[in-house]
Structures are given as C-alpha cells and as structure tokens.
Structure 1
Amino acid sequence: MPLSLYLLAMAVFAMGTSEFMLAGLLPDLAADLDVAVGTAGTLTSAFAVGMVVGAPLVAALARNWPRRSSLAGFILAFAAAHGVGAVTSSFPVLFATRVVAALAYAGFLAVALTAAATLVPASRKGRALAVLLSGTTVATIAGVPGGSALGAVLGWRAAFWAVAALCLPAALCVVKAVPAGRAMEEAPGGPGLRAELAQLARRPLLLVMLLGALVNAATFGSFTFLAPVVTDTAGLGELWISVALVLFGAGSLVGITVAGRLSDRRPGLIVAVGGPLLLIGWPALAVLVHEPVILFALVFMQGALSFALGSTLITRVLYEAAEAPTMAGAYATAALNVGAAVGPLIAATALSTPAGNLGPLWASGLMVAIALLIVLPFRAVVTAGRSAEALR
C-alpha cells in the first residue's frame, strides 16, 4: 500500500475521533448545556446528516478541484468548526457546528475514498478502503477513549479543542504527501457528472448502499448510547466508559483488518458468517449487561463484527460504482452516514421504551435482522464479480 494512503488514514483518524467521541461525552455535554441525553445524542445524527448531504454535493463540486489543496482545506474547515463548538454555550450553535464539520469531513472522505481507489490496482479496492478506514478504528481505540477521559477530567470542551489541534498536523501531512492532480485528470474521457449520477438508478448499487446503511445504523445506534449502558445500567464507574470504547475500537480494528483481506475475494463469506453473529450479539449484550467480563467481551466482538460486515458492504459500493469514478467515494460515504444519521435517532426513540438504556441494543439487533432478511434473496449482490450482473 502506498505511503500517501496511510497519511490519508492519519487525517481520517483526526476527523474520525470527533465523529465517534460524543459517545463518551454525552452525559457531561447534556448536563452542561441543560438538555436531555437523548437530545444531545442528536448531535451524532446532525453530523451524519451533514455528511450524507455533503458527500455527493462536495464530491460533485470537487471533480475539477486540485485534490491536495481541497483535502487540506476540508481538514482546516473541520478544525475551525470545532474551535467554535468548544466556546459556545448554545446547543443550537453547537448543533450547527456539527453540521459544518460534517460537510467538511464529507468532502474530505468522498475525495479520499475516490483517491484511495486510484492509488491501488482495481482488484485491491477492499484493501485500500481498509487502510483508509483504519484511521477511524484507531480513533475508536485511542482518540475516542482519550477524548472521553479528557472530557471526564477537563470537560467536554477540552476534547473539542484537542480534535482541532489534531487536525493541524494531519493537514500538513496531506499537503506533503498527496498528489496534486484533479479527479477528472485521473479518468480522462470518463463519464460526465450526469452519467455518474445515473448510476444511482442501478439496483445492485442501491442495494449494497442500503445494506451498508442498515449495518452502520445498528453500529452507531448502540455506540452512541454506550456510555449510559456502562454506567447507569451496568453500574460501573465513569472511567469504565473509556475501557468499553477502547475494546470496541480494538475489535473494530481487528474486524476491518480481516475484512480488508477478504472483502475483495470472499465478501459473501464475511456476510454469511459475520451477519448472524452480529445479529445474536446485540440482544446478548442487552441480556448479559450486568456481567462485566461478558459485557466487555461482547463490546469487543460487536466492534469487530460491525466493522467487518460494514466495511465489506461499503467496499461493494465502490465496486458497484466503478462506472462513476469521481463519485464512487461520495456514494460510499453517503451509505455509511445515512446509517449514522438514522441509527442514533432510532436508538434515542428506543430509550423511551420499557427497555430504557438497553433499548438501543435491541434496536440494533432489529436493524441487523432487517439487513439479513433483505440480503437473503439477493445473495449474489455481495459475491465478488457477480453482483453487477445479478440484478440488471
């Protein structure tokens, strides 16, 4: 894998830390801004909505922009939004900064995903995506628990300042290492924007986007409200939140690494094995939450399975969108973040059910079940080399 791919992953680490860190900051943030925890959880959805909208919009605009300067610009805009968020005392203003930050991250990720696919042979898109998204998994291991611990000691605002500071060296690395060309220059004679957008009418592409969104919704739904499960339901101390987040992140790194080696050649195997295990894991976590050892073991397992299955489905989006060379990354980003937007909203609603803090875990299980029911009649769509023809 080329060095520039790993440096892009470093930038994803800096920005991904912010995307996930609210899971450990929600109780403190909600109390400081005088809102309910469920209301504070909508900040995750605001971020995801901004990414869903921003990914295709910014990718379309950036087709003719210099890749290196646009990536660096997105990172700096992301940092500025966090600076504003760190000083505000208004929840609506904080909400708005999350949307702005999401637009910047969406632009970055859409361009970076497309760039990653061009930096490697066509048959290794899954490996390239795994390297790029490993920045997110490292964020869940180090950045997110670090942000949670920093928030517990110095308050949630310190975590926002830390993210802004992390973005600065990431921007410098991108400037130093990423080629300066434009996306359209790498696909001379390729399809126009209208033709690339027309790919969204293809059923195979829509199906893998839907499946990826459902799995990611399950992941974000439970991850966003993991903190109250650890403290209020399991009865553990606040610092155990960081332990849970580290274990989830470690699992996600294992899952995405394994998937990166299999998703190009054996995606069906990951779905067939990982899907049912993921389905069992969420309700098992809800039932066994009062057993700390089992709780943390399941958190690790769910992190691994969620990212293995999710990254495999997103890799299929890149394959199915091969005829949209400058927009494929935007479609993958949108699929990821439709789930990230919907999942916490469904989970927040589940908090008001008799299940209480365990409601998001049951809701995640239901979303995975729906994904598996959808994929059953269309198994060929996740089989490498056959999906494009299976549903035409």
Structure 2
Amino acid sequence: MTDTTSTARPTTTPRRNRLPGKALLGLFLAGFISILTECLPAGLLPDMSRTLDTSVSLTGQTVTLYALATALGAIPLARATATWHRKNVLQLALGIVAVTNALTALSGDYALTLVIRFVAGLGTGLIWPLLGGYAARLAPQGRQGRAIAIALAGTPIGLALGIPLGTWLSGLGGWQVAFHASAALTVLTMAWIRPTLPNLPGGPVDGRFTVSRVLVIPGLRTILFALATYMIAHNILYTYITDFLRHAGMTGQTGWVLFAFGVTSVLSVLVVGTHIDRHLRRLVVGSTVLFAICVLVLALFSGVPLLVYIAVAAWGFAFGSSPSLFIGGAIDATGAAADVAQSITITVFSASIALGGFIGGLLLANLDATSITWASLALVIAAGAAVIGGRKHAFPKGA
C-alpha cells in the first residue's frame, strides 16, 4: 500500500519506522465512537420503543437515519472543511457526537429523537473520511496500510461491541444510561486527542478530482459495488440479530453470541493488520468467501446452537477488518485522488448501513427471520463475485 498524500509527513516519533501509537489510538477511538453511536440503538430497541411510544421496527430507523445522514454529509462536509487543520475538524465532529448522544438520552419524543440522530450522523460524516488519510500521513513509508488498519479498527470493533455494550449498560439503569456513557466516552476521547494527535494542515480542494472524475478511475466502481453489497448483507443480519436468535430459539444466549462475534472481530484486526500491506487481495477475497459460508450455515442450520456459535464467530473474523480492506483498496486504486475516493467510499459505506437496516426491517415486517439470512447470502455472493473478478484494477494480483 502506498502513501497517497502530497503533504509532508511530520516527524513525530523518535524512531523513523515506528508507528505513532498514541495518535493512532486517538483515531481508533474516534472511529469506535462513531460506529458505537450509530449501532447503539440496535441493542436497545424494545426499551427505546416503549419510551418513544412507537414500534420496534420504527425505532430501528434511528440507526437507518443516522447512517443516511453520514452518507449524505460525508462528501460535502469533507470538501467544506478540506482547508481546515485536521485535528480541529475531528474535535468539532466529536463535540457534535457528544452533545447529540446526551440529547438523545434526554429525549422522549420520537420525531425529536430522529432529528437529533440525523445531526449526530452529520458529525460522523466529518469523522470517517478523515481517518484513513490521517493515519497514512502519520505513518512511516511502507507502513501506511498497517496504520490505516489500526485507525479503522474502531469501526468493526464498534460494530461488534455496540449492541452488547448497549444491552449491558441499559441493564444498569435504562437505555438512557448507554447514551450518557457514550457521550462521556466521546469527551474523554477529545481529551486524549488534544495532546497526542498532531494537528496536520488541510489543503485546497484539487479541482481535477471531482466526484464524477474519480468515479471513472479503473477499479473504484468495482470496489464500491463490492463494499455496498458486503455491508448491506452484514447490516441486514447484524442489525436484527436478536430477531434471528429468537427464531433460532437462542434468545437467552444473545449476549454470548455477540461476545463470540466481538472477540473474533478483534482477532481479525490483529491478524489482518500485520499482513494488509503485502496481501490485500488475498485478505479481501478470504473475508468475502468466509462471510458467505457463515451466512449459508446460519440459513441452513439455525436450529443447531453450536453451529450458530461457530458461524457467528467465523463471521466476526471475516468482517473484523473489512472496512480497512475496502478503504485500503480504494486508496491504492485512486492514488492522488485518494482523499476524494475516501469520501465516496464512506458515503457508500454509510448508505449501505442505512439500506441494510431498512431492508432488514422490511423483510422482518413482511416475511420472517429466515428471510434476512437468504437476502444476506445473495448479496455477499454478489460481493464475492466482484472481489474475485476485480483482479486487474480493484484488487490486483500481488496487492
């Protein structure tokens, strides 16, 4: 993986080839908080729906609307703040997330909660396009891929832990406690970032790299299609995992199933991070194929708890570093246009989360829990075909 920024990289570490661990931890936490805030309601839907006096499926749209706001805001907000110093943008965005999480906990009105969640999603729309490029600029030559993987690891870990954390915290004093805790964690992250993260300068928007021009760069559209189908498949199943487990007769084991997913997601980050700079194609193909196998097992053997545990654990391992793999592929494919490509990629990523939640809700409302596994399987097969077929530009051999 190559460095795609022209801005000089600051010498912030005593050893030339050492990754700036404290700074990357700050970026990791920012990504973790963003996705934690997004998926937090998924583990709180029954309690939230009672407070907001609406149905579980409508309450689930608080996740969808958040992701939609991020998708809509990523590109215009990234361009509007392109000349600002990077840490200033990140701190502003985290401040928005902290305030909106606190306000969500205080709201008892469904419409108001949707508005607050939309604003929170706009805050995340400022964060995600920053992370990959920021990490690459901080890393020494030849280690950008690992730096990006660390910075973006907060996203899959947040997805893995968001629902169980929310469920556990709500048990301490209601769903509002989970949102207050998320707001507090955001403030602590802002305090950590202030002294540890170099405030790199922004830069003028390069008129050569408009969205329409970047989209025709060979390989990028294949990457975006694979990313969209992969993430929609994941979010159809993951957002409504409690419904699937209820169908499987495993309602009382939800916490342990999600714990298995979370543990293997973290393991995936550790394994992939050490190999992403040299084996990007193999890793993304392996992730997609393994995910497809897991969904097939869940579709066919939902009545066998042991196989459900194994499939969910393997799914966590497949999914854990997938954001890093797809964003890394987009950065490699687009070269000097990587900043714009990242904004496009985040837009697709967020829109896919929104679509996954929306489609999953429709399937559950009109069919049954088994429908979400078969829909996810069809989508991840499409993702696998795109990844395997993208051997020339999207995920080239030797990458």
Q: Using structure 1 for the length normalisation, give the TM-score.
A: 0.89
Unaligned runs of 5+ in 2: 1-18
- Residue 313 of structure 2: SS of its match in structure 1? helix
Judged with a 3 Å threshold, the aligned counterparts in structure 2 of structure 1 residues 55 and 123 are, in CA distance, closer, same or farther, namely farther
2:248 corresponding residue in structure 1:
234
* Shift, 1:21, TM fit: 2.2
Whether contact under 8 Å (1:82, 1:163) holds in the other structure is yes
CA distance in 1, matches of 2:39, 2:205: 35
1:14 corresponding residue in structure 2:
33
Whether contact under 8 Å (2:265, 2:316) holds in the other structure is yes
Alignment deviations for residues 117-175 of structure 1 (CA, whole Å, 9 cap, x no partner): 21124543331221012223443455542221112342212111111111111011111
Question: Aligned residue pairs: how many?
Answer: 379
- Residue 200 of structure 2: SS of its match in structure 1? coil
- Please say if 1:64 is aligned against 2:59: no
Judged with a 3 Å threshold, the aligned counterparts in structure 2 of structure 1 residues 177 and 208 are, in CA distance, closer, same or farther, namely same
1:102 corresponding residue in structure 2:
121
* Shift, 1:336, TM fit: 1.8
Q: CA RMSD in A?
A: 2.3
* Shift, 1:11, TM fit: 2.4
The 5 A counterparts of 1:251-330 are 251-330=264-343
CA distance in 2, matches of 1:376, 1:70: 37
* Shift, 1:372, TM fit: 2.2
CA distance in 2, matches of 1:203, 1:290: 44
CA distance in 2, matches of 1:148, 1:34: 19
1:174 corresponding residue in structure 2:
193
* Shift, 1:225, TM fit: 0.3
CA distance in 2, matches of 1:108, 1:191: 18
* Shift, 1:215, TM fit: 0.9
2:158 corresponding residue in structure 1:
139
The 5 A counterparts of 1:1-392 are 1-2=19-20, 3-121=22-140, 123-140=142-159, 142=161, 144-184=163-203, 192-197=206-211, 198-230=213-245, 232-238=246-252, 240-354=253-367, 356-384=368-396
* Shift, 1:111, TM fit: 1.8
CA distance in 2, matches of 1:366, 1:98: 30
Whether contact under 8 Å (1:125, 1:315) holds in the other structure is no
Q: Using structure 2 for the length normalisation, give the TM-score.
A: 0.87
CA distance in 2, matches of 1:289, 1:311: 30
Judged with a 3 Å threshold, the aligned counterparts in structure 2 of structure 1 residues 14 and 251 are, in CA distance, closer, same or farther, namely same
Judged with a 3 Å threshold, the aligned counterparts in structure 2 of structure 1 residues 346 and 379 are, in CA distance, closer, same or farther, namely farther
CA distance in 2, matches of 1:191, 1:37: 43
CA distance in 2, matches of 1:98, 1:64: 27
Unaligned runs of 5+ in 1: 185-189, 388-392
Q: Indicate the percent of aligned positions where both proteins have the same amino acid.
A: 25
Alignment deviations for residues 32-64 of structure 1 (CA, whole Å, 9 cap, x no partner): 323232222222221111111111111111111
Judged with a 3 Å threshold, the aligned counterparts in structure 2 of structure 1 residues 160 and 299 are, in CA distance, closer, same or farther, namely same
Whether contact under 8 Å (2:157, 2:266) holds in the other structure is yes
CA distance in 2, matches of 1:308, 1:208: 15
* Shift, 1:103, TM fit: 0.9
